[in-house]
Amino acid sequence: MVLARSAISLLNRHLPKQAKAVIAGFPDLEDSTIEIARQLVLRQSVSVVVLAEGEVPPSIRRQEPNIDWCSRKSVRGFFHYLTARYIFFTHGLYLSPKPPRSQICINVWHGMPIKRIGYLIGRTPPPSTFGIATSDMFRGLVAKCFGVPDAEILTTGIPRNDVMVRAARRANAIKTQLGIGDKDTKPRLIMWLPTFRQAVRGIVRTDGVAHSSIFGMSDMDTAEFCAFLEEQNCICILKVHPMAPDFPDQIRSDRLRIWREPELRERGVSLYEMLGAADLLITDASSVYVDYLILDKPVILAFPDLEEYRRSRGFALEPVEDFFAGPVVSDYQQLKSAIAETFEADRYALPRSSVVACFHKHRDDRATTRLLDAVLPQQPAHY
């Protein structure tokens, strides 16, 4: 691997660069990847290539005809990488050699670190020219995780959050796309986004307590939960983490749905569009917690294995409880009570505003604009 990385580095240093941007994310069609690509197309200053591991659906290709969709495993994709002036990635590319001076490489990553990442867990992050953060506090923390000076972390915000902020303005339309409610009646949408406990892709590892159920709660009663959701006029969609294994949970209810990427693509809605339309988020150590706070909507932390997670994976922020702007629940009964109480009265509005100020320097939909302004030659977008 060392020899291969050295050979790639040698090629990358000597091949001339073109006015081209290559973008690669995990999963392939994650929101930051698509948002960066779309904004680059509008600027008309570089050609835009998105590298994908899997097959890109024809519907996506038709929606984005000015993006060159290319297989990450192909010779053409590798050549695009070697000849691009700009590289954007979430998890590295082609053994991730150090970028030459002729190439600007931006580590978009996939969120601000609540749990420990990078050097904090003994892993070497892929080298880059710049990383990004959502606030000055996270700027220092991301720099520490990546082992780089603070000056190499740009406090622009995360491109995928632009998608979420815009989606919040058309929440009802997105709920309609998701098949939630009818023209006149829209139930509340609860998004449940747990991070993985057992990773089956990338770095295979176990954090916290692995559970046989996606819900992670031994006392979970899905039939009763569906009845409770109907009483509360709610629909709950649990989105499985892309690195998590398959779970045996079988739910046949319009009130409670378990989705992966295909279910979203079938409805023409991205994860962060759905998140923007949500009225409540349930999560744990996922970076989506940081993102969702931009919207100033309530959050519940469902964390049955909080102490075990602290001992195994560990938190980048400690004590992490100081940064929780919502109730922390450890079992199903507490979860039900927290949902009911949250919709009755938002008691965490004030502490949430304090955490938001710490987490986010910007709360708009211009993170991608700030990022591209910082790394590309100054040229206005062609809207």
Give, for all 383 residues of the chain, the pLDDT tens digit: 789 999 999 999 999 999 999 999 999 999 999 999 999 999 999 999 999 998 898 888 998 999 999 999 999 999 999 999 999 999 999 999 999 999 999 999 989 999 999 999 999 999 999 999 999 999 999 999 999 999 999 999 999 999 999 999 999 999 999 988 776 678 999 999 998 877 656 666 778 787 777 888 888 999 999 999 999 999 999 998 877 667 665 677 889 999 888 888 888 899 999 999 999 999 998 999 999 999 999 999 999 999 999 999 999 999 999 999 999 999 999 999 999 999 999 999 999 999 999 999 999 999 999 999 999 986 544 43
- Between vectors from CA 302 to CA 279 and to CA 341, what angle results, nearest 5°? 50
At residue 57, the 3 state secondary structure works out as: coil
At residue 76, the 3 state secondary structure works out as: helix
The C-alpha torsion from 261 through 267 and 272 to 273, rounded to 10°, is 180
The pTM score is 0.94
CB 21 within 8 A of CB 45: no
Strands 234-239 and 84-89: unpaired
At residue 125, the 3 state secondary structure works out as: coil
At residue 197, the 3 state secondary structure works out as: coil
pLDDT at position 249 is 59
d(CA 258, CA 231): 20
pLDDT at position 378 is 66
d(CA 51, CA 48): 10
d(CA 270, CA 161): 12
pLDDT at position 47 is 97
CA 318 distance to own-chain centroid? 22
pLDDT at position 108 is 97
- In 29-168, where does DSSP find H-type helix? 31-43, 58-63, 75-83, 136-146, 159-168
Nearest to 270 by CA among 38, 87, 23, 88: 38
